[in-house]
Structure 1
Amino acid sequence: MSWLPDDFVHPVLVPLPGGGHHLRPIREADTPLDYPAVMGSRERLWTIYGPAWGWPAATMTFEADRADLLRHEKEIAAHQSFNYALFDSAETALLGCVYIDPPERVGADGDISWWVVDDLVGSKIEQALDALVPQWIATDWPFEQPRFIGREISWPDFLALPEHPAA
């Protein structure tokens, strides 16, 4: 059984309230914007995602990021997992990401997490994203028990849960 209904169509453009920013599925072609965003916030991102995903490594190269984004693009097309990038309206800056994944641990039918670049921590844009994501997931995604990692459950508590049998 798939983690999403066979007829599910994922959103392709999600505006943030207040205008000026939106989410869309990330693509390999976004590497020139993604790499500086990730590496510019790498130390903080490592404290969030490092223990669970080993990402982003201090030694991550532009080419490794490109390969990672190509993998994400293929996973999105296959509905295996989703990475939405946060962009300004002109898509001249990648400002963060939202991950929507099949559950790795028991107790949920979807695992969701997100981040913004260091410069936006505590900003109105981050606050808009924080407000949008749970509402967007409830409205546009077919989950009955979404889990918001790093929000409703801490990463250490998430990692302490038993693995999901399908993971």
Structure 2
Amino acid sequence: MRWLPEDFVHPVLVPLPGGGHHLRPIREADTALDYPAVMGSRERLWAMFGPAWGWPAATMTYEADQADLLRHEKEIAAHQSFNYALFDAAETALLGCVYIDPPEKSGADGEICWWVVDELVGSEVEQALDALVPQWIATDWPFEQPRFLGRETSWPDWLALPAHPDA
């Protein structure tokens, strides 16, 4: 399935309004920051993503996370899917992620979801991310029918949708 135009260039740095935080494509080298962020928020993340993705498992190891990030890095390079990490300005903390994927379910041309670490739930940073993502997708991505999972479409509703014909 070709889900992005051949000449599409993905953004490499996306500042959050208010300064101090930005998004960039995740890399395997980010494991030391990603693993504690994910596992420190694992119960809430499992409630969000577990039924759909089986992630993050309670038994996920550092090495499994590293392999997952390497897979993401390769998928980003091949424009198969995208995982943007949310960082502080100095990239000393990974604070969440934004996933931009080809559609698995009918009715969309891209599926987008995101999360922040538990400590940022309800914060100005989360509010800035919540405001930024739909605007960023509309401005910088070539989707006509993006689906925002866990936002406009609940995860249970998404799971009940028919599969995308190309998925």
Report percent identity of matched pairs: 87
Counterpart position of 1:36:
36
Report what 1:151 is aligned to.
151
| Secondary structure, aligned partner of 1:112 | strand
Q: Provide Cα deviations, 1:37-66, integer angstroms capped at 9, x if missing partner.
A: 000000000000000000000000000000
Aligned to 2:118: 118
CA shift, 1:76, in A, is: 0.1
One-letter amino acid of the counterpart of residue 139, structure 1: T
Letter in 2 for 1:68: D
How far off its partner does 1:165 sit?
1.0
2:161 is the alignment partner of 1:161: yes
Gaps of 5+ in 2: none
Tell me what 1:96 maps to: 96
What residue in structure 2 maps to residue 86 of structure 1? 86
CA RMSD, 1 decimal: 0.4
Classify the secondary structure of the residue corresponding to 1:115.
strand
* Deviation of the 1:79 alpha carbon: 0.1
- Cα deviation, 1:21-52, whole Å, max 9, x if unaligned, reads 00000000000000000000000000000000
List gaps (5 residues or longer) in structure 1: none
In structure 1, C-alpha distance between the alignment counterparts of 2:146 and 2:53, rounded to whole Å: 19
CA distance in 2, matches of 1:64, 1:166: 28
1:10 maps to: 10
2:52 is equivalent to residue 52 of structure 1: yes
Question: What is the identity, as a one-letter code, of the residue corresponding to 1:97?
Answer: C
Establish whether residue 24 from structure 1 lines up as the match of residue 62 from structure 2.
no
Distance 2:51 2:44 in 1: 12
Partner SS for 2:87: strand
Q: Which amino acid aligns with 2:24?
A: R
Structure 1 distance, partners of 2:25, 2:73, is 8
Q: Secondary structure at the match of 1:90?
A: coil
TM-score normalised to structure 1 length: 1.00
May I ask how many residue pairs the two structures share in their alignment?
167
Q: Report the Cα distance in structure 1 between the residues aligned to 2:153 and 2:13, rounded to whole angstroms.
A: 27
Cα distance in structure 2, aligned partners of 1:69 and 1:130: 23
Give CA deviations for 1:93-143 in whole Å, capped at 9, x if unaligned.
Answer: 000000000000000000000000000000000000000000000000000
Code of the aligned partner of 1:54:
G
CA distance in 2, matches of 1:22, 1:45: 21
